[in-house]
Amino acid sequence: MQRKEFLKTLGAGALFALTAGCFGGCSKDDEDFAPTEDVDFTIDLSDPTYDNLQQNGGYIIKDRVVVAKDDNGNYVAATQRCSHEGFYEVSLQNNEWFCGQHGARFDLSGQGLNSEASRNLTIYQTELNGQMLRVFS
Ligand code: FES
């Protein structure tokens, strides 16, 4: 086989290898940025580590989950992973979930509020028992 023929063959193979994964569709809309792991942990609110959760509008991040105290004093939780492009940039801002990467905004129930948030955000449940706050899927 001539060198030129070999490179031609290699080029076609490489092109196939690079594109084969996209035959089913590679558009951004097909990607799923929802977290796959189950969430279930408990926070002791008396632990100074979680002092940010003592004030309305405060939040902490634990195990890639944003746990926050909303403006009404309720505990809420959402994935830190944004549904837009999967960056772990979600936090609480102005009583909404906000992604600092491109500006996606979600209400506290995870409903998208702008075009970057066309897919909803995964929300977790919270349960307060004394000073113990459970966050779970
Ligand atoms: S990844 Fe969050 S807005 Fe783009």
Give yes or no for residue 101 CB within 6 A of ligand 1.
yes
Is the distance from CB of 97 to CB of 106 less than 8 angstroms?
A: yes
* Mean pLDDT calculated for residue range 15-28: 42
Tokens (6 digits) for 122: 């995964």
Residue pointed to by tokens 């942990």:
41
Residue 99 CA to residue 77 CA, distance in Å, equals: 14
CATH class, range 34-136: mainly beta
- Band the pLDDT of 32: cuts 50, 70, 90: confident
Q: Over the range 110-123, which residues count as b (16 or more CB within 10 Å of their CB) and which as e?
A: bebeeebbebebbb
Is residue 25 scored above 50 in pLDDT? no
- Lowest-pLDDT range of 3-7, 32-36, 106-110: 3-7
Residue 6 CA to residue 2 CA, distance in Å, equals: 6
* Residue-range domain boundaries for the chain: 1-28, 34-136
- Lowest-pLDDT range of 23-32, 48-57, 65-74, 87-96: 23-32
Residue 107 CA to residue 113 CA, distance in Å, equals: 7
Give yes or no for residue 84 CB within 6 A of ligand 1.
yes
Beta bridge partners of residue 93, listed in sequence order: 96
pLDDT at residue 19 in the model: 41
The continuous run of DSSP H or E covering 13 comes out as helix 3-20
Quote the mean pLDDT of the chain: 85
pTM score: 0.79
Residue 91 CA to residue 77 CA, distance in Å, equals: 10
* Mean pLDDT calculated for residue range 110-128: 98
Give yes or no for residue 102 CB within 6 A of ligand 1.
yes
- 88 Cα–ligand 1 center, Å: 8
pLDDT tens per residue across span 90-109: 999 999 999 999 999 999 99
